[in-house]
Amino acid sequence: MSDFVCESTDWFVVRTNSRHEKKVACLLEKLNYQVYLPIQKQWRIWSDRKKLIEVPLIPGVIFVHDCTVNKEKLYSVPGFHSILKLNGEIGRVKPKEIEQLKLVLEEYEGVEKVENSRFSRGEEVEIIAGPLRGYFAKAVEDVNSYKVIICIEALAAKFVVNLAKSKVRKLVK
């Protein structure tokens, strides 16, 4: 059987060939998939010019929301590589994690993806003001602010956002 049927509203992760994220996202949208490709703007400097370009926040990854995962249809898309699997099952990303990622990219500049080893531990905090209000995160205290680590568990991906200390509250254990 080539179709999987999801029981929830979770998103799944599509891996793409290198530098094919935008093309695959466009083609999947034409096939009526709901697609989210997190994009950030970065300055790139060449020898003769400096330009602001859009690059994927997570290279080689697109998030897709669809209850029927038709593998034959997906694998026929040029640039498509695979569906992320965890323990033999399609890896799921919760809608709250997608919303959190969207909010971070809309509201904050300088979001950076960090490797897992960079932050081994941090204190749990609740964000009490701003667009991420109500979210829980791990934080590393900085001089005048917190560097808040936003996690997407299915990808084991972490992103860092700077927030003022007044917008973050430590959780009492």
Quick one: residue 118, left, alpha or beta (phi over 0 = left, psi -120 to 50 = alpha)?
alpha
What integer is the mean pLDDT of 142-166? 73
CA dihedral 121, 107, 132, 67 (to 10 degrees): -90
Domain 98-170: CATH architecture, name and number where available:
Roll (2.30)
SS3 128: coil
Pairwise pLDDT comparison (10 vs 166), residue with the higher score:
10
CA atoms within 13 A on the CB side of 143: 0
Residue entry with tokens 């009526």 = 32
Closest CA relative to residue 155, chosen from 12, 8, 5: 12
Q: Are 11 and 92 in contact (CB under 8 A)?
A: yes
Tokens in use for 62? Answer: 């697109």
In CATH terms, the fold of domain 3-93 is: Alpha-Beta Plaits (3.30.70)
- Structural domain boundaries of the chain? 3-93, 98-170
Give me the percent of the chain exceeding a pLDDT of 90: 35
Q: How far apart are CA 137 and CA 134, in angstroms?
A: 10
Is the pTM here over 0.75, yes or no?
no
pLDDT digits over 79-134, tens only? 999 999 988 888 889 998 999 889 888 887 767 666 543 343 567 778 888 888 88
